């Protein structure tokens, strides 16, 4: 799709991830705004920096992690609006491979967890034919079922369901807006192609009233 919806999607994800957390029941362990200590350590190591607590990570560092580790891995800039959000948020919450598999299943493709051009084109085709909303619902239904099956659902389930409900709604809004914008562009293009400049030189005709 060659457009950047990262900032809009990131704002939604950040809203749900919150701030500092180190819940004993969370297998991710210490987390700051959704970035785990393990992921942060790897990020700093790749940059030649010494490890430090993720609690003291900067917003710029976390933004780079979200883009490199999640958005780029699910090829967010190439996915249609709405689909980019649900796959991105799923990837942040449960890892890119699981999110990509959910997208592939919803599109009726071979499920391998690798987001290649076949998957990208299928997602774009779904958007072009007005089926993004259906695919979004399939992904979110699958995600909800997965979350309900986790052993920690009793602890985090309410928050997870609140999050997926909001992400589903916001993704549907994004998809609807993109579809409406595309239709508007098509209509304007059709109007422009039908325009005949010769008609502008036709002398105006006198107005007629009902009495004539």
pLDDT score for 192: 53
* Residue 26 and residue 37 in contact, taking contact as beta carbons nearer than 8 Å: no
pLDDT at 48 over 60: yes
Give the per-residue SS3 of 79-116. Answer: CCCCHHHHHHHHHHHHCHHHHHHHHHHHHCCCCCCCCC
Tokens of 68: 């490199």
Residue 26: predicted pLDDT: 86
Give residue 27's pLDDT: 84
* Cα 165 to Cα 184: distance, rounded to the nearest angstrom: 29
Q: How confident is the model at residue 160 (pLDDT cuts 50, 70, 90)?
A: very high
- Model confidence at 2, pLDDT cuts 50, 70, 90, reads very low
Name the pTM for this structure. Answer: 0.83
pLDDT in tens, 64-101: 999 999 999 999 999 999 999 999 999 999 999 999 99
CA 45 vs CA 38, 40, 55, 75: distances in Å? 11, 9, 17, 24
What integer pLDDT is reported at residue 57 of this predicted model?
A: 96
């Amino acid at each position: 799709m060659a457009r950047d919806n990262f900032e809009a999607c990131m704002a939604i994800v950040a809203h749900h991830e919150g701030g500092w957390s180190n819940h004993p029941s969370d297998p991710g362990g210490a987390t700051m705004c959704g970035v785990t200590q393990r992921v942060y350590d790897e990020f700093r190591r790749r940059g030649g920096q010494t490890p430090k607590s993720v609690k003291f990570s900067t917003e710029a560092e976390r933004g780079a992690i979200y883009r490199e580790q999640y958005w780029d891995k699910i090829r967010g800039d190439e996915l249609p609006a709405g689909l980019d959000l649900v796959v991105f948020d799923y990837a942040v919450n449960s890892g890119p491979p699981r999110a990509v598999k959910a997208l592939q299943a919803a599109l009726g493709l071979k499920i391998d967890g690798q987001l290649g051009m076949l998957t990208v084109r299928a997602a774009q085709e779904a958007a072009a034919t007005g089926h993004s909303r259906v695919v979004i619902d399939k992904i979110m239904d699958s995600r909800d079922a997965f979350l309900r099956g986790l052993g920690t659902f009793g602890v985090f389930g309410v928050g997870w369901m609140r999050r997926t409900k909001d992400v589903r709604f916001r993704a549907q809004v994004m998809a609807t807006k993109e579809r409406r914008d595309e239709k508007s562009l098509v209509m304007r293009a059709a109007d422009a192609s039908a325009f005949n400049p010769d008609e502008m030189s036709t002398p105006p005709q006198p107005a007629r009233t009902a009495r004539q």
